[in-house]
Chains A and B, each alone.
Chain A
Amino acid sequence: MNCHVRNMVCLSQRSQAKFRIIILILILIAVELVHPTMPCKHENCSQVLHRSLKLTKSMAKRSAEILETYKTSQGDSADLICDMQMDNVPVSTISGQTMSERILSVYTHLKEFLPHMKTVMEQQKDLNPPTNLVVEGLHSMITHVHHIALRVNCILQILQPNIPIPEPAERPTGIPPAQNIFQQKAYGCIVLSRLQELLSQAVQEQKSLKGKLCRKRNKDQFLMN
């Protein structure tokens, strides 16, 4: 009897241990599934922030150069057209109160700018020879802004590892296809201007994370352990 009881207890304990292991495995699988991108785990926190900041900095300068090139290619009225108001272009203002919210705002805006950049590039291909510096620059910028967005995504994962990062909807730019040349020029200039502003702010936001992000991460990891 005792033995039976003991056996039952033993069996009960064994099954509980197995259950815990299974639960742990499931949790790990769930965590891994929640992680939207695998690549971030190959780098430590400081590397992610450092590389992201450097890339954002370089692209901010690059965007300023492209904007300058763009303005030069538009003639004397470039400053005028760049100051025009255009509602369909995303703003460069970073919103949010917390660190995570502001980084998320950066991420969202970057994602939003990508289709506009592609549109401007296509328009510029039609307006100017397809191999002009603006087109070349925009082509490169699109890739690198995409990379920045991925980097910022990694930062967000560090900031809030357990919260899924909302992806902005892949929607059209909202720019009517029947823009005339002047409108295209104005649109392109506004997109590039705001992109440059956005990248500059992104640099600032990331700089503000220095000394905070990775310490927090380390603390979290320490607490988890």
Chain B
Amino acid sequence: MDTSHHLLLLLMLLHYEAGFSHNCLKILPDSNSRIALEVGKNFTATCHLLEGSAHTSDDIEWTMRDIPIPKQFYHKINETAVSVTVNISSDMRGWLRCKAKESQPDCYIYGISLHPGYPPLKPTNLSCIAVQEGEDISPNLNCSWDSGSRNPLFDTTYNVFAYITILNKTYTGDCKQHHLDRYCVVNLERFPHHVRLKVWVEVKNVLGSERSEQLENYSEYFVKPNPPLNIQVLTEDNFSTSLMVTWEPPIQEYVLTLSYAIRYRKASSDVWVEVAESLTKGYTFRLQSLEPYTQYVVQIRCIGENHSGYWSNWSAGVTGHASEDKPASAPDLWRIIRSTSNNRNVTLVWKAPVKANGKILGYYLNICHDYVMIESRNITADNRLMYLMKLPPGKNASIELTAYNSVGASPKATLFIPRSGEDLPGVKNMSWSVRDEKLQVQWTSLPVGLRLSEYLLEWVTVPQLQAGWQRVSSKVHNTTLNGDLKKFQRYNISVYPIYKYQQAGRPVTRPAYVQQGIPEKGPNVTQTKSKKNSAELTWNEIPLERQRGFITNYTIFYAIGSTKQWKSVTVNPNVQSYLLMDLASETDYVVNIMASTVAGSVKGIDYNFKTLKYGDGEVEVIVVVVCLSFLFLTVFIIMFCLRKREVIKKLLWPQVPDPSDSSIAHWSPDFPIKADVPKEDVSMVEVDVFDGKSLCEEDKAELPLKKDKYLSEEHSSGIGGSSCTSSPRHSISDSDSGDSGQTSASTLQYSSVVAGAHKGQTPSHQPLAFARSESTQPLLDSEEHPEHLSESSGQSRSLYMRRGREPELGVLGQDSSGASLTFSPVQEEETPVAEDLPASALSYIPQQNSYRPQ
């Protein structure tokens, strides 16, 4: 490189000396085109002041792309020449100029254009391929190589040369391609056979050239044939484990002798198995050790014999089907037991044999109870692979199952179900986890010596109860469930130890999810029991198929309806009711419940309720208090009345003077009141208005005990004294009237005439009697004026009698229906007067009241 630069410099100098230029400055080396320079190398340029210039070398300045070059890179050669040396970098593409200070306008600057770059790299990994074309090999030799990743920054040409030694002739492929292209075709006119070829590639640019290593070999080593033709995969009826493969060569053997390779795979698999041996003789091959009744895909490729040249592409896959054989493995038999009160419902389920070796046509099922055959069935494969049976708790069962196809039957699958309560021990410490979206189950191995044959893992969808299972070795204590377990679906995972004779031990079951999600819907409040300051909420559990995960907790949100200021309470997932406390009375509340899983939460629908105004028992307390208050008030009033009865009596009934004490008239007991007294029985009724003791002293003595009775009879019997009037002792009051008069000075005794007695009584023993009033009150006007008696007494008596008669009607009616009315004559006489009752009845109100204490 340096030599060429020096030569160029010399030429430029000669050119300059020859006087072809008229510039004041000149740079050497000089060129009409860009000066190619290798990146990383030093480059020296010299600026010369031409003859006649008024400047010296000190006036010279160098610039690279208009950027001054530091003085330390200058080298003063003499008074008219200054050189500069720069290290070429890839970004130095542009003008290198030298300039004389204050130079004349037409000759103060001169420049050369630099073009940095790299020389070509040596091509490596050259390979050339001649593909098959029809019945022959293409004369085009397709060559490729690795030219490196460095961009030479110059136009670079590649040429591929192919030399055929026996012809002593070289063919060239002029690629005319870009510097980074690495593919070229050499046309050999006609592809030579069995001759040696030498191939190499040459690369050139302005900075140099490189030549690759020679690729020398026989022409066959450059050939890539087509894949074999007409491949057939033939089933051999009597050989269920083999397939015959035939093919034809892609090219005449005399042109190119080929070796073949075969590979095959199951149609259901992506794993290829390549036949190890290299096949050169014939165009058939028998694939052996295949699985019966299995579809295989076969491909073949070829290469020049002795592995010369290139492998062809694999042929298109051809499918063949191995013939049937009898099943080589037993069906996988399992059971699902659901115990009832007095029986066990056993569902036998099974899977077809893994090595069915053909189309399974059906199954033979034998069932023994207590080692006695009770059932033998042939179940076609069209049905579901399950069978239902009942097994009493006190019996064991042995089940045998074989599958059969058109060739034969499989080995037996057996299962033993012991009597209830005779289960063998189960595993311990069973747990599960999720890994790569698969359920991984772990458990503690059972101790050695239990004649354990394997473990069975069962998964049952909840609540649909669809079961799947898999078996693992007894040496395994964790495994991944290989079933197609769905996300958000609850499974009950069980681990069964399987003992000898296929007897399952006690299962250990855990609920599990492959992936948990947010529940589909939140729980809804179904019921509330509102109280004054609390409310009990009840909600239903979310159905299992909608839970999509384990409920971690419920959160109850509640707020006063209008405020929406939510409060919340979190409860455990096993709680379905909750008592909200500290609520305001008679207030509308909104409540909803949020169910949470590890994946998230979802709220239920809002529910409204209203708290009550009164709490429990408040109403009752109020009623009781009011009643008690009333009672106490009543008692108080009564007590008050009793205590102040004299005062009250005086206030209500002013004292009437006793007529007997009057000095005007004298009572004559022998004087008949009226000459024409009717001869009917007349009973005298002594009515003491104010003193209860005046009547029926015995009854009064029994008053507390018979109060109710009296009260009940008050209306039914009319005047209570009716019973008393039946008593002869009370019918005539003269004997007691004195007592009455003695006990109470204020007693006002009126004489009453009782006409006759009850029909059942003996009127003969009751002589007519007159009740004499002992009152000290002055006589009424009628008494004082007997002349008016016939008029007024008749009226007053008749009124009195009428009051006495009304209840008597009832009494009499009850006692003796046939008896005539006691006061009927009087009544008959006084009947017209009775029409004036309202006017005179007021005079007898005190008499009526006199019965109340009774």
Contacts and interface: CB of A to CB of B under 8 A. Distances in A.
B192 A39 contact: no
Contacts of B193: 54-55, 58, 144, 147
Contacts of A144: 192-193
A60 B166 CA distance: 20
A39 to B, nearest CB: 4
A147 B255 contact: no
A43 B196 contact: yes
B254 A39 contact: no
The A interface, classified by DSSP as helix, strand, loop or mixed, is helix
B194 A39 contact: no
B136 A37 contact: no
B499 interface: no
Contacts of B170: none
Interface in B187-236: 189-190, 192-196, 218
A52 interface: yes
Nearest to B136: A140
A76 to B, nearest CB: 26
A222 B165 CA distance: 27
Interface of B is mostly: loop
B168 interface: yes
A51 B218 contact: yes
A52 B165 CA distance: 14
Nearest to B195: A147
A57 interface: yes
A199 to B, nearest CB: 11
B254 A62 contact: yes
Contact of A42 (B167, B194, B196): B196
Given A37-B168, A147-B166, A51 B254 contact: no
B161 to A, nearest CB: 16
Contacts of B165: 39, 42
Contacts of B168: 37-39
Contacts of A55: 193-194
A62 B255 contact: yes
Contacts of B218: 51
A172 to B, nearest CB: 24
Interface string A126-149: 000000000000011001100100
User: What band does the interface of chain A fall in when counting residues whose beta carbon is under 8 Å from B?
Assistant: 20 to 34
Nearest to A144: B193
A62 B192 CA distance: 14
Interface in A129-188: 139-140, 143-144, 147, 150-151, 154
A198 to B, nearest CB: 16
Interface string A38-53: 1110110000000110
Identify which of B166, B168, B255 gathers the most chain A CB atoms within 10 Å of its CB.
B166
Interface string B162-175: 00011110000000
A3 B554 CA distance: 128
Contacts, number: 53
Nearest to A38: B168
Contacts of B85: none
Interface in B140-199: 165-168, 189-190, 192-196
A150 B190 CA distance: 16
A39 B165 CA distance: 5
Contacts of A39: 165-168, 196
A61 interface: yes
B190 A51 contact: no
A40 B196 CA distance: 10
A195 to B, nearest CB: 15
B252 A61 contact: yes
Contacts of B252: 58, 61-62, 65
B254 A58 contact: yes
A187 B167 CA distance: 29
Given A61-B254, A140-B136, A51 B167 contact: no
Contacts of A154: 166
A189 to B, nearest CB: 22
Nearest to A56: B194
Nearest to A57: B254
Contacts of B166: 37, 39-40, 147, 150-151, 154
B190 A58 contact: no
Contacts of A58: 193-194, 252, 254-255
A150 B167 contact: yes
A57 B257 CA distance: 12
Interface in B20-40: none
A51 B136 contact: no
Contacts of A52: 194
Contacts of B189: 143
A147 B190 CA distance: 11
B192 A54 contact: no
A62 B218 CA distance: 20
Contacts of B254: 57-62
B192 A143 contact: yes
B530 to A, nearest CB: 103
Interface string B339-375: 0000000000000000000000000000000000000
Nearest to A148: B194
A55 B167 CA distance: 15
A155 to B, nearest CB: 12
Interface string A51-86: 110110111111001000000000000000000000
A65 B166 CA distance: 26
A187 B194 CA distance: 30
B46 to A, nearest CB: 50
A37 B195 CA distance: 14
Given A39-B165, A39-B167, A139 B190 contact: yes
Contact of A54 (B136, B167, B194): B194
Nearest to B256: A58
A175 to B, nearest CB: 25
B190 A140 contact: yes
Nearest to B216: A42
Contact of B192 (A42, A60, A147): A147
Contacts of B195: 51, 147
Contacts of B167: 39, 147, 150
Contacts of B192: 143-144, 147
Interface in B634-671: none
B584 to A, nearest CB: 105
A17 B146 CA distance: 51
A39 B167 CA distance: 7
A54 B254 CA distance: 8
A202 B19 CA distance: 75
Contacts of B255: 58, 62
17 contacts: A38-B168, A42-B165, A42-B196, A51-B218, A54-B193, A58-B194, A58-B255, A60-B254, A62-B252, A62-B254, A62-B255, A147-B166, A147-B192, A147-B195, A150-B166, A151-B166, A151-B194
Given A42-B165, A150-B167, A151-B194, 11 more contacts: A39-B165, A42-B196, A52-B194, A57-B254, A58-B254, A61-B254, A62-B254, A139-B190, A140-B190, A143-B192, A147-B194
Interface of B: 136, 165-168, 189-190, 192-196, 218, 252, 254-255
The 8 closest A-B pairs by CB, nearest first: A58-B254, A39-B165, A51-B194, A61-B254, A55-B194, A143-B190, A39-B166, A150-B166
